[in-house]
Structure formats: C-alpha cells, structure tokens
Amino acid sequence: MSLRLSAVSGIDARIRAPASKSYTHRALIAAACADGRSVVRSPLQSEDTGVTITALRQLGAAITDTGDLVVGGTGGNFSASPGCTIDCRSSGTSMRMLVSLALLADAPVRLTGSTRMQQRPVAPLVDALNTIGGRIRYLKEPGFPPVCVDGVFRGGKMEIDASASSQFLSSALMAAPCGATESVITTPLEPASRAYLDITAEVMATFGAPVKREGYRCFSVSPDGYAPASYTVEGDYSSASYFFAMAAVCTGTVEVTHLNPASCQGDRVFLSLLEQMGCRVTSGADSVTVTSDGRLRGITTAMGDAPDVVLTLAAVAPFADGPTTITGIRNLRVKESDRLAAVVRIAALGGAAANVSDNAVTITPGRLPGGGIIDPEDDHRTAMSAAVVALKRGDVGILHPGCVQKSYPGFWDALREGGIL
C-alpha cells in the first residue's frame, strides 16, 4: 500500500498532540513495580506501548484499560511462568527496560523481538547487570537479543557505557528501587540522549523513588520500592515536530495543544531550531504555535540529545536557502532502521543532497530533482518525516504508511481532522 499527498500551502491548523511514548513506557513500569493500585491517565496507545503492557501482564501486573490504564502493582516481585518468552517486536524501549526488570522475576525470562531488534545492541547493559547478580546469556548473536534473563538484581555499584543509548542507564535505574541494596550507577562516557534520563528520573520521583545524581555521570537509587500514584502523561514533542515542520515548509500556522511548554523532553529543542531557521514560535499555557512565511535559513546544530527529530529537520532542510549541518548523529545507525541512511533518502525526496560523515550530515538544497517514492522500511519516523516533504512538493509517495502505528496510530487522521489533508 502507498499514500500520495497533495501539495498544500497556507496551513491554518490546530492539532492535539498524542501522549508521550517515553513517559507512557516509564509510567507503566513504575506503576507495575509499585505496591498498590496506580492510574496512568491519558496514556499513548500504540504498538510500542502495547508491547510494554503485554510484557508487564506476563510478569504478573494487572493492567485494565478503561481509557486510562489502571495498574495493579507487584511490589517489585514479578512472577514468570515456566519458559516465559516476551516478544518485544520492534520496541527498543521495551526490550532494554525489560532486560533489567526481568531480573526481578522469580523464574528465567526470554526476551526476543523482530529481525531489526535482533540487530540492536544490549551488551553494555547486560555486561553491567551481570556484575550485580544477573546471569543473562545471549541466545543467538553475542551482544544482541534474544537473551535469557536469569539471576537477581542485587543493586550495588555498576558501570554502564551509555554512549550508544541512554536506555541502558534508564533500564537499570528503573529496576533499582526494587533491588536488594542501594544502586550506584556510573557511566564512563557522556550518555547519549541525556534528556531521556531526565524523563526517567522525573517519573521515578513521581512514583516515590527519587534519583540522586551528579549530572549525567553518577546516579544513586535507594532500595525503597515504588509508591502507587495517579499519573497523567504529557503530550509528545517528537510527534508534534511533524506538524511544526509542515507549518515551516508549507507556510501558515500550526498550533499544537496538549504540550507542556516547560517539558524536559529533549525534542522540544526542535522549536528553537525552527526559530533559527526563520519561523515564529509562541507558547500558551498548554500549547505551542509555529508560524512561517516559508523563508527558511540553513543552520548548523548538534542533535545528540534529540535524535528522534533529526529526520524531521532533514525534511525541512531541503527547503531552506542554504545548507544545514547536523552533528552528533552517529547513533542513528542503530535505531528502528538505519536512520542516517533515512536522512539521505528524506533529503533526496526534497531535492537536496546529503553528505554523511561519521558523526555529521550536511544537507544542501537544490542538488537533486526530488520527488519519487520512499519505503520507510517499517520506521514510523521516516514515514512521518516523508509526509512533511510530500505536503510541500505533492510528488512524493509513501509506502506502507501504517508503520506509524508504532508511535502515533492517529497521525494520518490528525492531518485530516486538522484540515491539512
């Protein structure tokens, strides 16, 4: 199946942002570990969060969907049936979080996933956990899923190299309140995507498990468990970025509601990038508005802390009046797809050439004819970024548009309801 969008200009739209995927995963995990009943309000319902819900149910948490999610916690004592196998499909967050959480189970747990998931590394996390009571072993390729998680989460001192993914640190942090002793976690190198660690710490504190920290290099967590809570998930800046990008390239105004203007989400930086490119950005109590006349400037920016909006910026850059250089992107090769390759393909759709080095890419407008058909390779962010280019040009086809189910099932409907399509 393919989708072809007509070119539009002069957008005037108001769209509600979906709930944050990152916050939803973490709130569900904290609630499942708590001793008592929690309510996760306004959660994201998507393929990825569905993986986490199914996994937590397999580990003994009672989760009822009433629109909100009512979670009967386990007190950090998970139960696993003999031969328990959890399929994480293509959800990297689920896989990495569960590697640590499964050490709280009373029996070994096998974690597997899609073909692409089996190419995404977990070794830095596994190595660290195996120093504090884990007996985790690889079932196929060393360093990658599937894995069999056995042993216990004792706590204590551990070192995790999170330079490839902050999820390795977040995983250990979220299990730490249920460990036997205080956990002190250090990282030898600066973590990737540091803002996600802020999200992890924020959710843990809300559920009664504060994290003591020294910047992003040393974290301490007491083994006092989680407390049940009523938690409302805030809107997602990653998903909102596509609508802001549409305003930038198609001209006009887009207001996105259900956003926290003071959020610690790293992808909020996309708004400042659009300002640098020439857009006007204003914030309300729970909304952000972007207005553009289409006159955009190329910029140079480091995006190691906001990897999920690199593709969105790559969709805007072809329509600027000069090159855009993005640095800090080395780790994009190990996402849901090779997103460095996807940057090149998105830029080409817009008629721009992308010159990629080890840790940077420069997108130069007007070097290629543009248009054509793109296969997102089952990557939701590639599909949604391609929609930005398609709405500007009108000569772009997107194969398998349903892959947005991973993070934003209502994406195409939101475009229609917002009057953009």
What's the average pLDDT block by block, 10 residues per block, for the chain (421 residues)? Answer: 92 98 98 98 97 98 96 97 96 97 98 96 98 98 98 97 95 98 96 95 98 97 98 98 98 98 95 98 97 98 93 98 94 80 96 94 95 95 97 96 96 95 85
pLDDT of residue 338: 87
Residue with tokens 């049936």: 81
CA torsion 242-243-244-248 (nearest 10°) is 90
Domain 2-18+235-417 shares a fold with domain 21-232: yes
**Phi, psi values for residue 214, rounded to 5°:** -120, 90
147 bridge partner residues: 111, 138
- Cα 226–28–65 angle (5° rounding)? 125
Give me 172's structure tokens.
């250990």
What secondary structure letter does DSSP report for 84? -
Whether the Cβ atoms of residue 244 and residue 269 lie closer than 8 Å to each other: no
Give me 118's structure tokens.
């089996």
Whether the Cβ atoms of residue 186 and residue 213 lie closer than 8 Å to each other: no
Catalytic residue numbers, as ranges = 308
CB atoms within 10 A of CB 188: 10
In Å, how far from its chain's centre is CA 78?
25
Angle subtended by helix axes 47-58 and 21-33, to nearest 10: 10
Domain residue ranges of the chain, discontinuous segments joined by +: 2-18+235-417, 21-232
In Å, how far from its chain's centre is CA 147?
22
| CA distance to 161, 267, 341, 375, per residue, from 302 (Å) | 21, 12, 18, 27
Q: Which class is domain 2-18+235-417?
A: alpha beta
Residue with tokens 């031969």: 83
Residue with tokens 């994201």: 44
The predicted model scores a pTM of: 0.96
Task: Give the chain's length.
Answer: 421
Strands (E), 285-350: 287-292, 300-302, 324-327
Strands (E), 222-374: 230-232, 252-257, 280-283, 287-292, 300-302, 324-327, 353-356, 360-364, 372-374
pLDDT of residue 336: 75
Give me 284's structure tokens.
């309300």
**What is the rounded CA–CA span in Å between residue 391 and residue 381?**
16
Q: Structurally, what CATH architecture does the domain formed by 21-232 represent?
A: Alpha-beta prism (3.65)
Q: Helix or strand or coil: residue 218?
A: strand
